[in-house]
Amino acid sequence: MKEITGAGVALITPFKKDLSIDTVALKNLVENQCSNGTDFLVVLGTTGESPVFSESETRLIIDTVKEANNNRLPLVLGIGGNNTEAVNHKFKAIDLSGFSAVLSVSPYYNKPNQEGIYRHYVSLADNSPLPIILYNVPGRTGSNITAATTLRLAEHQNICAVKEASGNFAQCMEIIQNRPDGFLVISGDDAFTFPFISLGMDGVISVICNAFPKQFSQMVHAALTNNTVEARKLHYLLLDSMNLIFEDGSPGGIKEIMQYMGICNAALRPPLYPVNEKVREKLVYATDKVLGK
């Protein structure tokens, strides 16, 4: 699964002012990623506002991204949930052709224990036609996939990686140190990507990369090739924006940056709501810093 290493982007879903999907802006976004060093695209993750789409809209987003990408970059599709059987059904209901892997978030809200999390993912891995990337994001799900559970799941032949967004350095180092050969550890925290790669992670699935694919991918590639001086410089250039996009909700923050840059508007579907004015002002300042204004 070397195709899902390096700088991956968790694509936003641009909307028109009436909150319908802006397919033109989405195609332009994909083109910008393909042309500026991004290594792979993640479609319909949390950043893409996946919970708010109908089946027809899901198909439209998938078809639009695939058409714009034109087989240039590997694609990962977000398919997750807190109903194990319903997730397994999606593997049959959704056309997975053209995708390299599935990113599946740990069950949220029900808060299963570690054995429940383990059995959930084993069921998904047994039923998915594509390799599974575990997604650990306790801040959203309400539960953590421990290092021990991740390493246990890493032994399954159809589980290829984990996206770690716990922010727990000790946990991440334990996984990196003890993972089996070929199992990838991918950062889910933009601001921790540089230090995490230095510790042995294989890449990132990023939010800030939507707006700054060239600068962010250069940082990731420098870190992966042990060019610490260049990676550190780019890390600190991007750091304010990487932190600010989460200050008043995501993907509200990244969409504000992209509206300011003229890429798409900042519209969000309810229950999400745009960032407050104070955060918006800080995002503009941070964006100008990255752009050298």
Q: What is the pLDDT of residue 5?
A: 97
pLDDT in tens, 203-228: 999 999 999 999 999 999 999 999 99
Q: Is residue 142 part of a domain?
A: yes
C-beta atoms surrounding 289 within 10 Å: 14
The parts of the chain modelled with pLDDT lower than 70 are 1
Q: Is residue 255 part of a domain?
A: no
Smallest CA-to-CA distance from 13 within 269, 238, 270 is with: 269
Q: Is residue 274 part of a domain?
A: no
pTM score of the predicted model: 0.96
| Cβ atoms 264, 29 nearer than 8 A | yes
Q: Is residue 215 part of a domain?
A: yes
Is 135 part of the annotated catalytic residue set? Answer: yes
Q: What's the domain count of the chain?
A: 1
pLDDT in tens, 155-190: 999 999 999 999 999 999 999 999 999 999 999 999
Q: Is residue 25 part of a domain?
A: yes
Q: Is residue 256 part of a domain?
A: no
Domain that holds residue 143: 2-222
Catalytic residue among 66, 135, 255, 282: 135
| Cβ atoms 105, 138 nearer than 8 A | no
Catalytic residue among 163, 233, 236, 293: 163
C-alpha span between 187 and 264 (Å, rounded): 26
Q: Is residue 244 part of a domain?
A: no
Smallest CA-to-CA distance from 245 within 197, 282, 217, 205 is with: 282
Q: What is the pLDDT of residue 4?
A: 94
What single-letter DSSP state applies at residue 19?
S
For residue 214, what is the domain's CATH number?
3.20.20.70
C-alpha span between 229 and 134 (Å, rounded): 31
Q: At what angle do helices 23-35 and 55-69 cross, to 10 degrees?
A: 40
Is 66 part of the annotated catalytic residue set? Answer: no
